[in-house]
Homo-oligomer: A and B are copies of this chain.
Amino acid sequence: MKKSAPRYTHEHRYLVAIDCIIFGFDGSEIRLLLVHRGFEPEKGKWSLMGGFLQPKESLEDAANRILQQLTGLKGVYMEQLSVFSDPRRDPVERTLSVAFYALIDIHRYEKQLSENFHPEWFSLNEVPALVFDHNHMVELARQKLMQRASSEPVLFELLPDRFTLPQVQALYESLYGRKFDKRNFSRKMLSSSLLIRQKEKERTQSKKGAYFHTLNRRNHDRTQRIIPPLTL
């Protein structure tokens, strides 16, 4: 009730940061790309890749810019997670942070681009202590991704253009921390008509070889529950 006719001129302004939770998949488990924080406070500690919002960009623009700085990738799948706004989350000055999570094909990631940040991939199960509330962000992103992936085929964003069914299964198992039955899993996947089986096989993982598949982009568009609830 304190302002009867609020003018913008009397309002406070805040720093706005973007932090990116970058997921990748190494073929057997989901990983997280972290960097060494390059400035005080908490310089040198592990951190999510982040940056400040610039005057002429939207948050989505900023997130893409930051992601590209680190990975060299553009046009990556990305989603807003949440804003973190505890007044004391950054001890230097009050800063709001908008967290985004991104799913990238780990093989397209170009190491050399980002040497300044000393980035490293961590297993989702072995995330080190991070600056500020970044551990919390990671945990929330994991949960949201689990939820999302149970109703939409987003996890394919983590896979290369050609992938095998056992790879897909390993991906789901890694995210949900569970084993799935091979037969049921492949039946579900194939019945979605999301996958197109190739003639070639992948032969490094087994003697018999596993068929490569590609995504059927046509069906991929429909956000309908193509992948059934997965009975999580």
Contacts and interface: CB of A to CB of B under 8 A. Distances in A.
Nearest to A7: B93
**Size band of the interface chain A makes with B:** 35 or more
Interface stretch (A38-46, A103-111, A120-128, A188-196): A38-46
Main secondary structure of the interface of A (DSSP, over half): loop
Which of A69, A92, A95 is the most central at the interface, judged by chain B CB atoms within 10 Å of its CB? A92
Given A55-B94, A58-B87, A83-B83, A15 B5 contact: no
Interface string A50-64: 011111111110000
Contact of A12 (B53, B59, B69): B53
Nearest to A94: B55
Interface string A62-93: 00000001000000000010110111000111
Given A87-B58, A93-B8, A16 B15 contact: no
A46 B36 CA distance: 47
Contacts of A39: 5-7
Given A6-B52, A8-B95, A55-B94, 6 more contacts: A2-B91, A5-B92, A7-B39, A8-B52, A12-B52, A12-B54
Interface of A: 1-3, 5-8, 11-16, 38-42, 51-60, 69, 80, 82-83, 85-87, 91-96, 98, 229
